[in-house]
């Protein structure tokens, strides 16, 4: 097989991987949109939320949009390689180069703003806790949203059981949500919630991310390698 034929096969393989990666992003985005009430519902009801998170609830739509672009790139690269269409190959090279540069810039910005992340998280913790204390047990939307979230993640509040101290629910019943007591039956009072120390939902999410950090890092490296390989192969085919 000639060198050109090998490059075409590599180009097709690279872009099949890109195509399926984009399709997976679209599927994840659709799932996030479908489960928006559970994942981001509480953010819609929190006042004075930091502006950095004001559009977090639209993350699902962003994933769908990005996934659609990536899927189109994979299709464009495959067609360009199979048909030896220089226009398609050039368009593919330009798009994937722009995406790669944006990813590098985003990584640099994340590293640059990392020291400010803890301050932002502390502000979020405070705002969410205040929202729970004010509305849980009084506002049906917020109460149901938190109940569904805690049932889904097996957690208690955003930080822990103290988020519910002083809330309408605790004031009226003298009890804490059952989710704050991991074992045993019956009512969940302050003593039981304090002794069992069920993790807050934020800590549960962070722990799950940490447990899958190696997988996420490997996926990021593979994606970058595929993008670089696709740019190299498309450039060679153009020549």
Q: What is the pLDDT of residue 113?
A: 64
Q: What is the pLDDT of residue 117?
A: 63
pLDDT in tens, 8-39: 787 788 778 778 877 887 887 777 666 555 54
Contact yes or no for 168/135 (Cβ under 8 A)? yes
Instruction: Locate the domains of the chain by residue range.
Output: 3-114+214-238, 116-203
Q: What is the pLDDT of residue 207?
A: 82
Sequence-ordered list of residues with C-beta below 8 angstroms from that of 5, at least 6 positions apart, any chain: none
> What pTM was computed for the model?
0.56
> Which CATH number does the domain 116-203 belong to among 1.10.540, 1.10.1450, 1.10.3470, 3.40.50?
1.10.1450
Q: Given pLDDT bands bounded at 50, 70 and 90, which one contains residue 143?
A: confident
Q: Given pLDDT bands bounded at 50, 70 and 90, which one contains residue 184?
A: low
pLDDT in tens, 55-98: 555 666 777 787 788 888 888 888 877 777 778 878 888 887 88
């Amino acid at each position: 097989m000639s060198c050109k034929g090998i490059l075409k096969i590599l180009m097709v393989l690279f872009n099949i991987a890109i195509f399926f990666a984009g399709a997976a992003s679209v599927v994840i985005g659709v799932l996030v949109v479908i489960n928006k009430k559970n994942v981001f519902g509480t953010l819609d009801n929190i006042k004075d939320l930091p502006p950095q998170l004001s559009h977090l609830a639209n993350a699902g739509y962003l994933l769908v949009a990005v996934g659609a672009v990536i899927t189109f790139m994979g299709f464009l690269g495959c067609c360009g390689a199979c048909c030896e269409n220089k226009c398609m190959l050039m368009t593919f090279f330009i798009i994937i180069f722009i995406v790669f540069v944006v990813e590098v810039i985003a990584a640099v910005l994340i590293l640059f703003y990392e020291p400010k992340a803890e301050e932002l998280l502390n502000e979020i913790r405070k705002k969410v806790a205040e929202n729970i204390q004010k509305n849980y047990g009084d506002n049906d939307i917020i109460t149901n949203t938190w109940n569904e979230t805690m049932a889904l993640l097996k957690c208690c509040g955003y930080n822990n059981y103290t988020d519910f101290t002083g809330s309408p629910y605790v004031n009226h019943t003298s009890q804490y949500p059952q989710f704050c007591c991991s074992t045993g039956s019956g009512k969940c009072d302050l003593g039981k919630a304090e002794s069992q120390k069920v993790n807050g939902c934020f800590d549960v999410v962070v722990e799950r991310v940490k447990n899958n950090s190696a997988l996420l890092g490997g996926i990021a490296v593979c994606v970058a390698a595929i993008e670089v390989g696709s740019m190299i192969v498309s450039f060679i085919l153009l020549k």
